[in-house]
């Protein structure tokens, strides 16, 4: 059930080094459920479907609307901004580990999207959010998002080790 899914998710995060014990993190004790944050974003022409992957010709034939990929990035970014004041930034940062957002209404460039997020839970370094976005006419997205607090230097070391291992394997 839900516990098994959570445990599988935790194993995946551990495989990326995201849930390893790291005594160097000094997150604020004020990072707790109930924190809310709002952010307004005016959709530029550069964030439409055609510009998400310009090399993908089918995207170029799509309607001129805010792309789902950019919407997800916006929702993640707002959640990140909500907790940034509670971290020792830039040494402590957060990375997204799960997104579950709908995209239920199209938004043309020029409209302003308001994203609202709230911290639902904090479990060690794992932070769960609920968020929704409205473009002044329609609710365009809602759902949940999970982020893990990381030590940026340690995370970068792990990425370099991974990159080196893959390059070495591919060279052989």
Tokens of 150: 């990381």
Which candidate in 68, 116, 118, 132 is catalytic? Answer: 68
Q: Which of 48, 103, 145, 146 is catalytic?
A: 103
- The residues, ordered by sequence, that sit 6+ positions from 44 with a Cβ below 8 Å of its Cβ are 109
Is 72 in contact with 99 (CB distance < 8 Å)?
Answer: yes
- HSE-up of 60 (CA within 13 Å, CB side)? 4
**Is 26 a catalytic site residue?**
no
Give the whole-angstrom CA distance, residue 39 versus residue 24.
Answer: 30
Return d(Cα 17, Cα 99) in angstroms, integer.
19
List, in sequence order, every residue forming a beta bridge with 160; answer none if it has no partner. Answer: none
Q: Is 107 helix (H, G, I), strand (E, B) or coil?
A: coil
| Residue 97 annotated as catalytic | no
Residue 103 is among the residues annotated as catalytic for this protein = yes
| Catalytic option among 76, 107, 145, 146 | 76
Which residue, chain included where needed, has tokens 């990140």? Answer: 80
Alpha-carbon distance of 129 to 146, in angstroms, equals 6
Which residues are designated catalytic? 68, 76, 103
């Amino acid at each position: 059930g839900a516990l098994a899914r959570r445990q599988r998710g935790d194993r995946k995060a551990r495989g990326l080094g995201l849930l390893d014990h790291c005594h160097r993190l000094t997150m604020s004790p004020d990072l707790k459920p109930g924190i809310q944050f709002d952010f307004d974003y005016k959709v530029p022409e550069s964030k439409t479907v055609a510009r998400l992957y310009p090399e993908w010709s089918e995207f170029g034939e799509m309607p001129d609307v805010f792309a789902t990929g950019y919407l997800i990035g916006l929702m993640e970014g707002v959640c990140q901004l909500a907790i940034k004041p509670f971290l020792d930034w830039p040494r402590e940062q957060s990375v997204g580990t799960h997104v579950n957002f709908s995209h239920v209404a199209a938004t043309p460039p020029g409209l302003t999207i308001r994203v609202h997020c709230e911290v639902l839970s904090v479990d060690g370094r794992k932070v769960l959010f609920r968020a929704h976005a409205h473009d002044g006419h329609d609710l365009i997205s809602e759902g949940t998002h999970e982020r893990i607090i990381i030590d940026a230097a340690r995370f970068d070391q792990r990425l370099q080790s991974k990159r080196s291992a893959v390059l070495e394997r591919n060279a052989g």
